[in-house]
Amino acid sequence: MSIKTVKCFIAVISAIAFLSASFLPGQSAAQDQSPIKIGGLAILSGPLSGYGKTGPMGAELAVKEINAKGGILGRKVEYIVRDDEAKPDTGVRQARRLILEDKVNFLIGVTSSAVLLAVMEIAKENKTILVGTDAATARATGEKCNKYFFRTSNNAAQDSRSAAFIMAEKPYKKWAVIAPDYEYGHSMWDNFIGTLKKLKPDVEVVAEAWPKLNAEDYSPYITQVLQAQPEAVFSALWSAGNINFVKQAKPHGFFDKIQLFAIGAGLMYEVVKTLGNEIPFDKYWGSSRYFPFAEDKLIPDTPKNREFIEAYKAAYGDYPEYLAEETYAGIYFIKAMVEKAGSLDVEALIKAGEGLSFEAPEGTKYIRPEDHQVVEDVVWGRLGPSKKYPFPALVEYVIVPGSKATPPVEETGCKMQ
């Protein structure tokens, strides 16, 4: 072999090595300057769209902040959002479109629990990490858990378990439930009443009312509950459903006789702002994933929380809904996960996400390695007229630590795969 031939051979080998390195899966994110794509799924049409659009608003605010500071590992972030219409078949179709056509690196969002369970299968099938920021079914990080799904918001078990600890200290023994008749409503109630009965065995369930999601007429259910004469009612109605129920229940004298515990959406900003002083303050306790507006201070009263609220108000001219904060936090979880992994290799990202703690406006969020469920505090409280905000604020509240609100891993049914 001549010297010229040897030089040509070495040049060809070098070129092949260079090209191979450029296209190896799991290459360093720092070597690639293309945007990191995050695909959002949200309710952008129909009666829940007013609330649904706040998730993308939070995501876009986070992406704007991250890009202004140089992106993630030097790469810009691109957020693409699709309307899942709160329907599982639409959610599946849009998730496939985001993964296969838009070539996103991550999926984020999803409000409906039914949609989430369907989309989780698509994410798993395509080995794409899905970050859940709203849908609360406990099954997603329980019996249906898989390694491609992380949840950075509370699930039904945490919300309900925290409620049970608080309600067990109260005198009520005769309970009723009103909740939307689908995965979310049943998951909330099952977790709540199961825990409450363990803590207080003499509790009695006297009525169960299951209207469909987004029902407009609650009068038959109000009558059913009143006839059963409960002392307290557990409500998992949310958004417009919770607003309509409270407005329709008041003329029946519902709140003259019964204490309402509205989980999840009870302190939803949309609900509090819309109902205003129509809220029966003495007979209404609620919770939310994020409602920091107490009359005495922010919850938590941290610089990060204050900065987020001011940035959101500056961008959109309103206070943030919990979904905006949760999706904002979800984007920052992705940032922390990528920076810890140092690449977009999916297996490295999964390893980086497990056990990760990060700061969000609502406080520290810790991702439990065994089931990928966030562990964080849960706030329950009672509202009253406010001199500080243009809507009612918390005048009495209880903060249940995340370690107490979160069921042990062995009770979740999760077998991570």
316-329 confidence digits (pLDDT tens): 999 999 999 999 99
Averaged pLDDT, 241-262 = 94
Please tell me the distance from the alpha carbon of residue 304 to that of residue 349, in angstroms, as a whole number: 25
C-alpha dist (Å) from residue 30 to 34, 341, 342: 10, 11, 8
Q: Does residue 192 carry a pLDDT above 60?
A: yes
Residue that wins the pLDDT comparison between 11 and 59: 59
DSSP 8-state code for residue 77: E
Q: What is the share, in percent, of the chain residues with pLDDT greater than 90?
A: 86
Going by pLDDT thresholds of 50, 70 and 90, the confidence category of residue 23 is very low
Q: Does residue 75 carry a pLDDT above 50?
A: yes
Predicted model pTM: 0.88
Q: Assess contact for 217 and 185: CB atoms under 8 A.
A: no
Please tell me the distance from the alpha carbon of residue 12 to that of residue 21, in angstroms, as a whole number: 14
Angle between helices 183-199 and 113-125 (to 10 degrees): 110
Residue 384 φ/ψ, nearest 5 degrees? -155, 170
Q: Assess contact for 270 and 239: CB atoms under 8 A.
A: yes
Question: What pLDDT is recorded for position 31?
Answer: 60
Question: What pLDDT is recorded for position 33?
Answer: 87
Going by pLDDT thresholds of 50, 70 and 90, the confidence category of residue 19 is very low
Q: Does residue 10 carry a pLDDT above 50?
A: no
Q: Does residue 5 carry a pLDDT above 70?
A: no
Averaged pLDDT, 234-240 = 91
Going by pLDDT thresholds of 50, 70 and 90, the confidence category of residue 265 is confident
Residue that wins the pLDDT comparison between 18 and 248: 248
282-335 confidence digits (pLDDT tens): 999 999 999 999 999 999 999 999 999 999 999 999 999 999 999 999 999 999
Q: Is the four-CA dihedral 120, 124, 125, 128 of positive or negative sign?
A: positive
Angle between helices 322-341 and 346-353 (to 10 degrees): 120
Indicate the SS3 state at residue 325.
helix
Please tell me the distance from the alpha carbon of residue 399 to that of residue 209, in angstroms, as a whole number: 29
Averaged pLDDT, 135-160 = 95
Name beta bridge partners: 360: 363
Going by pLDDT thresholds of 50, 70 and 90, the confidence category of residue 391 is very high
> Which pair of structure tokens corresponds to residue 55?
């998730």
Please tell me the distance from the alpha carbon of residue 277 to that of residue 29, in angstroms, as a whole number: 51
Averaged pLDDT, 349-362 = 98
Residue that wins the pLDDT comparison between 30 and 73: 73
Question: What pLDDT is recorded for position 6?
Answer: 46
Please tell me the distance from the alpha carbon of residue 10 to that of residue 22, in angstroms, as a whole number: 18
Indicate the SS3 state at residue 302.
coil
Q: Does residue 105 carry a pLDDT above 70?
A: yes
Question: What pLDDT is recorded for position 132?
Answer: 98
Looking at every residue in the chain, the average pLDDT score rounds to 92
